[in-house]
Amino acid sequence: MAALRKLEKTAIESGSILCFGIDPKAGMEDIVGHYSAITDVLLGENLISAIKPNYAYFAALGFDGLHALKRIIDRYKGKTFVILDAKRGDIGKSSEAYAQEAYGFWGADAVTVAPYMGGDSIAPFIRADRIAYVLGRTSNPGAKDFEELKVGKERVYEKVCVKAAKMGAGLVVGATSDALPGIVKLVGKDVPMLIPGIGAQGGGFDVLKALRRNPFIHRVNSSSSIAFAHEKKGENPESAAKKEAEFLNREIGKRVF
């Protein structure tokens, strides 16, 4: 699988499985400048091996935001692994259109996918040269409303993870619950995981020990704690982001490598 090899290669070369989530705030004057300056430093110092722009934050800013998203993806595709966090998922033909948008128009290496409508809504995103990260056990408090419900002896998220893995998808599994080790046992060590929730969302690092058997295919995401580290540290954005990413890499490394 070409995408999986690229995912692994970029992590091995950098020595990092940290992903930088790009979630611009409303009112930011220079989104591209702010995030490019930080990302250039993080890549230059081998502190990240992926970026994850969140489509919703850009779309909320209208065409200016979408133009900024395009400029950021175009700047970094080919330099690192680009995950478009769009949480797509619809009936077959609509999913085909969304997949073309994510992979063709935006040029992303991967996209996040919502599984509620079932296998035919996921299938158009499954490609050898791309990765579809299906929402498994997410990091938000409301995940308990549906994902934790039992269907027989299994929970809904467990069924989703098994189905998605069999289809060749990766999984989004938040670090804010203790589900990760169990999911790895269910689907095996070779299914790539995208793990949000570290940092500002309060997720702990110890659950990451579950990734030890095959660490370089996974990505641990941190967004605002890197991008806006300067607001707490009182430094310029690039140096504060660098220090935060260094801290995150150390903590991840203690559990994973």
Active site residues: 87
- Nearest to 199, CA basis, from 171, 230, 229, 173: 229
Backbone angles phi, psi at 47, to 5 degrees: -100, -10
- In whole angstroms, what is the distance from residue 35 CA to residue 238 CA? 9
Angle made by CA atoms 72, 73, 76, in degrees to the nearest 5: 90
- In whole angstroms, what is the distance from residue 45 CA to residue 75 CA? 17
Residues β-bridged to residue 154: 151
